[in-house]
Amino acid sequence: MSDGEWAFPEELQPSPEDVSFDLDDALNALVSLRADVPEDAFTASALGTERVGNGVVIDEDGLVLTIGYLIAEASSIWLTSNQGLPVAAYSLAYDHVTGFGLVRAVEPLKATVLQRGTADSCGRGDRVFVIGHGGRAHALKANLIDKREFAGYWEYLLDEALFTSPAHPEWGGAALVGEDGKLLGVGSLLVQEVVGDENVQGNMLVPIDLLNDTLDELLTTGRSAVQPRPWLGMFTMESENRLVVSGLARRGPAAAAGIRPGDVVREVDGERVLTLAQMLSAIWRLGPAGVTVPLTLSRAGQVRNYRIDSADRADFLKKPVLH
């Protein structure tokens, strides 16, 4: 849907009289982001070849923060501010550890800069704002409903992610803004959360603190200072107290080793693992990308042992097109 076709109800939108910061400045720091990805890209089958989301302008030179899956393997990127025409941009970094992506506009953006804050400044139950490109109509009053560990089936783990409700329908790259008007996080997912006795839709957002720790390295090298983690290309889900392989990345290490969907992960290097977070942590403790990962799985009731030669996930992706 286009920006003009929907809006949050007025009572869900923040108003200038209801906040202590310059709301227009915050709204105008958001840009829409469109990325085009080649059909033969490694991520094309899972994420598509036309990706649309949001970005947050974080410096005067057109540096834009977004969520990395929007720009992975992009051959072209376009940014549009609330006041301007589309401006070409190029990818600077996709950090697989945090999930953040960075792009830079090649021409001046008619946008403001959103100052970075810290997620430590807010706690459970606090009022926050989830803002997408498109002005007040796409800005949502929300509450921070949780701060906790998050494990993703695509081999992703955050020690503390941010969870808000109600849900913003265009969450990818949206800005989480605190009561002080500063950037607290960036939107990543739509999730189902339990609040009291109710199941509610919400968003998972990556805390901005993780960027503060690695921004200089990302701008210099395109990668964080953390050594590339061992990647198996094995999509694993928690199901009925078991870790079940739900899918495999084509040409990935796990597929090459003979792992199949439906296999149940039991141990990593002899260590029993019961949750996805435990499994990922145990794999990553073995060493950097390239390390051999011993896995014990069960298939149709039979125990099987594998030794998987892990890889660097980035080696499977097309490199950014630089300008």
6 located within any domain: no
Exposed / middle / buried, residue 115 (Cβ in 10 Å: 0-12, 13-18, 19+): middle
H or E element at residue 217? helix 215-221
168 located within any domain: yes
The model carries a pTM of 0.95
Instruction: Say if residues 127 and 117 touch (Cβ distance below 8 Å).
Output: no
Tens of pLDDT along 278-298?
A: 999 999 999 999 999 999 999
5 located within any domain: no
Residues 56 and 27 in one domain: yes
9 located within any domain: no
The band of 1, judged by pLDDT with boundaries at 50, 70 and 90, is very low
Q: Is the pLDDT of residue 134 over 90?
A: yes
What average pLDDT does this structure show over 203-222?
Answer: 93
CA dist 309 → 76, 233, 257, 270 (Å): 33, 11, 8, 17
Residues 48 and 81 in one domain: yes
Residues 278 and 303 in one domain: yes
Helices vs. strands in the chain: H and E counts, helices first? 6, 18
CB atoms within 10 A of CB 169: 15
Q: Is the pLDDT of residue 321 over 80?
A: no
The tally of domains found in the chain comes to: 3
Residues 100 and 58 in one domain: yes
2 located within any domain: no
What average pLDDT does this structure show over 64-69?
Answer: 98
Tens of pLDDT along 158-175?
A: 999 999 999 999 999 999
| pLDDT of 85 | 86
Strand-pair partners of 57:
64
Residues 94 and 127 in one domain: no
Query: Mind giving me the DSSP string for 155-213?
Result: TEEEEEEEEEES--SS-TTPEEE-TTS-EEEEEEEEEEEEETTEEEEEEEEEETHHHHT
Q: Is the pLDDT of residue 100 over 80?
A: yes
226 located within any domain: no
Residues 154 and 176 in one domain: yes
Tens of pLDDT along 176-190?
A: 999 999 999 999 999
Domain that holds residue 168: 119-208
What average pLDDT does this structure show over 293-322?
Answer: 92
Residues 50 and 88 in one domain: yes
Q: Is the pLDDT of residue 37 over 80?
A: yes
Of 221, 243, 260, which residue sits at a domain end?
221
Residues 103 and 79 in one domain: yes
Residues sharing a CB contact under 8 Å with residue 109, sequence separation 6 or more, in sequence order:
31, 57, 62, 64, 79, 81, 84, 87
Domain CATH for 177: 2.40.10.10
